[in-house]
């Protein structure tokens, strides 16, 4: 399927609410992953094909069965998980090694503790770079701005989002008020921001631990909220839009039992993996939980149409029924989340020095990757303003035109030397004289919008062509709809 300079390929994600997920029945993974020993802390890759997890007190661990945990890895082939392999040194050593995150491209693995030059460890978080398919670099410390006191910690758990924009932290501290609460940190240059605590909606006076991202704003954590025992259940919550540390009220997951559940992790297909005990006397194993979600991901990549070079400063504008939903830098965001129930979204991609690309996507029933190719501003180039709407047989702009008009304004503002000619067209309904007047008045409405927003109208010429330049046959409604349009032509760049 091709839309102008746009190609749709299979692929993507947005920002959701806890109720956007409906979880299915849990299923225990096979013998390639689970043993009679304890498996916990699963971390799944974004594509869902690689699973890292901690195996505790296992005879084949680097330090043997008395040395705590090592990181093991299994890969999925034809729907089956392979026999797990021990991640090699230097990531695993004789101390406790636990995975806490894997980057979107699978090249950076976040692991427990800080690896000291003397071969020892101290509490904290480190990251290892993948060198080859089977080797990893010595993990380097993840530095938190202003420090983060962990010397008195008896337990630390982390979770790094696939896009590496957030780290969730649970710290067991000596003070009762901080008895194990959830914190969050963000990239800050070459370090990470000082972790700050979420509000009291999720942080109680009891235990909150093992926080894990479901997506960029939704996460699961284990807690004994409103309980006097140390029995933990899993809850799901979402950060409130525009408030980094505020969350929605946690909802208890239906998969909880009277035994332990924790360490939830998801891939980009919304398959969840977590650790659970079958009964009070058993050790934890890894389970999969398929989730149905009420949204789909859309991933964007933008290129110069001539050089095919990837562009890193393009802005994305998303609207539905003409109303702006979001505007964002594509290079920073990379993917957005859209409701699967919304029949149509309109997207506009804009970069300085280029003509915008505007298109709509209907009935998105799966994750999608969109490649957008932008044309440079050149004299003689013409662009149809697809989403400008008027009252029937009138020149008054409809509210649904708001997003398209604001993008045109942005184009004229960011390209101050550009001069354009705005052209209006109609179908063949009505007299020639009326159609000429209507097309001209509609163009004048667009120019007035630009003038009202401080654009020098000396940069703009205009003409109404009425029905004289049709794009399609006027014998059908679809053809007439295509002919009713506003375009602009580059006169000077």
* CATH assignment at residue 351: 2.60.40.10
> Are 69 and 61 spatial neighbours (Cβ–Cβ below 8 Å)?
yes
In the chain, the number of structural domains is: 3
CATH number for the domain harbouring residue 199: 2.115.10
Judgement on whether residues 186 and 66 belong to the same structural domain of the protein:
yes
Q: Where are the alpha helices (DSSP H) in 367-476?
A: 402-414, 432-452
pTM confidence score = 0.64
What are the Cα distances from residue 68, in Å, to 54, 141, 465?
9, 21, 78
Q: Is 445 helix (H, G, I), strand (E, B) or coil?
A: helix
Residues 125 and 243 occupy one common structural domain: yes
CATH code of the domain covering residue 432: 3.30.1330.60
- What was the pLDDT predicted at 441? 96
Alpha helices, DSSP H, located in 416-476: 432-452
Q: Per the structure block, which two tokens stand in for 432?
A: 């020639």
- List the 357-362 sheet strands across, edge first: 323-329, 315-320, 344-350, 357-362
List the structure tokens of 438. Answer: 């209507």
The two three-digit tokens of residue 139, written as one number: 């993990």
User: Exposed, middle or buried, 74 (CB in 10 Å: 0-12/13-18/19+)?
Assistant: buried
Residue 239 and residue 283 in one domain: yes
| Domain end point (choices 257, 291, 325) | 291
Cβ-Cβ contacts under 8 Å for 156 (sequence gap 6 or more): 112, 123, 124, 125, 150, 169, 170, 171, 172
* CA within 13 Å, CB half, 159: 30
Same domain, 317 and 442: no
pLDDT at residue 232, rounded to an integer: 76
**Helix, strand, coil proportions of the chain in percent (round to 5)?**
10, 45, 45
Spatial contact of 74 and 35, defined as CB atoms under 8 Å apart: no
Q: Is there a single domain that holds both residue 231 and residue 370?
A: no
pLDDT tens over the chain, length 493 residues: 223 333 332 222 233 333 455 666 788 999 999 999 999 999 999 889 999 999 999 999 998 888 889 999 999 988 899 999 999 999 999 999 999 999 989 999 999 999 999 989 888 899 999 999 889 999 999 998 876 665 544 557 899 998 898 899 887 655 554 457 888 898 988 899 988 888 777 777 777 878 888 777 788 888 877 665 566 778 888 877 656 677 888 888 777 777 777 788 888 777 888 888 877 677 899 999 876 666 677 888 899 999 999 888 888 888 777 666 677 777 666 667 676 666 678 888 888 999 988 888 776 667 778 889 999 999 999 999 988 999 888 999 998 888 889 889 999 999 999 999 999 999 999 999 999 999 999 999 999 999 999 999 999 999 999 999 999 999 999 999 999 999 999 999 9
CB 327 within 8 A of CB 315: yes
CB atoms within 10 A of CB 224: 17
Q: Rounded CA gap, 75 and 84, in Å?
A: 8
Same-domain pairing of 27 and 122: yes
Burial of residue 48 (CB within 10 Å: 0-12, 13-18, 19+) is middle
- Res 242: pLDDT: 58
CB 216 within 8 A of CB 104: no
Task: Map tokens 């109680």 to a residue.
Answer: 204
341 shares a domain with 317? yes
Same domain, 388 and 318: no
Say if residue 353 is preceded by a cis peptide, omega within 30 of 0.
no
Cα separation, 150 vs 226, in Å, equals: 26
**What CA–CA distance (Å, rounded) separates 202 from 265?**
19
- What the block records as the tokens of 97 is 């090694």
CA distance to 8, 319, 404, per residue, from 301 (Å): 11, 18, 21
Domain boundary among 322, 355, 376: 376
Any idea which residue has 């030397």 for tokens?
417
Residues 258, 111 within the same domain: yes
Identify whether residues 67 and 201 lie together within a single domain. Answer: yes
Sheet with 218-223: list strands edge to edge. 208-213, 218-223, 233-238, 251-252
Separation of alpha carbons 83 and 100, rounded Å: 21
Q: Per DSSP, which regions of 11-120 are E strands?
A: 21-28, 38-44, 50-56, 69-77, 80-81, 85-86, 99-102, 108-115
Tokens of 361: 């996507």
Query: For the CA atoms of the chain, what is the radius of gyration?
Result: 28
Question: Angle formed by the axes of helices 402-414 and 432-452, to 10°?
Answer: 60
The pLDDT score that the predictor gives to residue 291 is: 65
Same domain, 368 and 442: no
Helix (H, G, I), strand (E, B) or coil at 391: coil
Among residues 246, 272, 291, the one where a domain terminates is 291
Range of the domain at 39: 21-291
Phi/psi for 114 (5° steps) reads -110, 125
Q: Name the nearest CA neighbour of 100 among 43, 59, 138.
A: 43
pLDDT at 8: 31
| 194 and 72 within one domain | yes
């Amino acid at each position: 399927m091709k839309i102008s300079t746009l190609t749709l390929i299979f692929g993507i994600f947005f920002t959701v609410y806890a109720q956007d997920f409906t979880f299915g029945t849990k299923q225990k993974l096979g013998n390639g992953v689970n043993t009679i020993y304890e498996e916990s802390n699963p971390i799944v890759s974004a594509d869902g094909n690689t699973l890292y997890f901690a195996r505790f007190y296992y005879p084949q661990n680097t330090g043997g069965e008395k040395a705590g945990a090592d990181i093991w890895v299994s890969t999925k082939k034809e729907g089956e998980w392979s026999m797990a392999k021990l991640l090699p040194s230097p990531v695993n050593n004789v101390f406790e090694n636990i995975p806490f995150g894997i980057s979107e491209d699978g090249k950076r693995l976040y692991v427990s503790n800080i690896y000291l030059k003397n071969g020892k460890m101290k509490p904290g978080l480190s990251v290892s770079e993948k060198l080859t398919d089977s080797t990893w670099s010595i993990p380097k410390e993840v530095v938190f701005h202003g420090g983060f006191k962990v010397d008195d910690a008896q337990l630390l758990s982390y979770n790094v989002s696939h896009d590496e924009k957030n780290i969730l932290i649970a710290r067991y501290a000596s003070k009762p008020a901080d008895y194990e609460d959830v914190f969050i940190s963000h990239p800050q240059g070459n370090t990470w921001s000082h972790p700050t605590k979420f509000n009291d909606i999720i942080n109680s006076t009891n235990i909150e631990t093992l926080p894990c991202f479901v997506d960029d704003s939704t996460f699961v954590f284990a807690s004994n909220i409103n309980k006097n025992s140390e029995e933990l259940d899993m809850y799901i919550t979402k950060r409130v839009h525009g408030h980094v540390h505020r969350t929605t009220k946690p909802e208890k997951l239906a998969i909880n039992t009277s035994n332990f559940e924790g360490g939830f992790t998801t891939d980009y297909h919304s398959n969840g993996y977590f650790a659970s005990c079958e009964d009070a006397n058993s050790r934890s194993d890894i389970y999969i939980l398929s989730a149905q979600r009420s949204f789909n991901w859309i991933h964007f990549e933008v290129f110069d149409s001539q050089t095919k070079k990837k562009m890193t400063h393009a802005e994305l504008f998303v609207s539905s029924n003409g109303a702006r939903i979001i505007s964002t830098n594509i290079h920073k965001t990379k993917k957005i989340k859209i409701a699967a129930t919304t029949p149509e979204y309109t997207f506009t991609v804009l970069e300085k020095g280029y003509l915008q690309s505007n298109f709509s996507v209907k009935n998105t029933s799966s994750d999608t990757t969109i490649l957008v190719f932008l044309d440079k501003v050149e004299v003689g180039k013409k662009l149809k303003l697809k989403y400008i709407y008027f009252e029937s047989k009138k020149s008054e702009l409809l509210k649904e035109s708001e997003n398209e008009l604001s993008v045109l304004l942005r184009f004229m503002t960011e390209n101050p030397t550009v001069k354009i000619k705005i052209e209006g067209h109609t179908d063949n309904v009505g007299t020639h004289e009326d159609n000429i007047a209507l097309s001209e008045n509609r163009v004048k409405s667009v120019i007035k919008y630009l003038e009202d927003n401080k654009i020098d109208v000396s940069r703009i010429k205009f003409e109404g062509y009425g029905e004289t330049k049709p794009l399609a046959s006027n014998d059908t409604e679809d053809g007439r709809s295509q002919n009713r349009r506003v375009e602009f032509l580059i006169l000077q760049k």
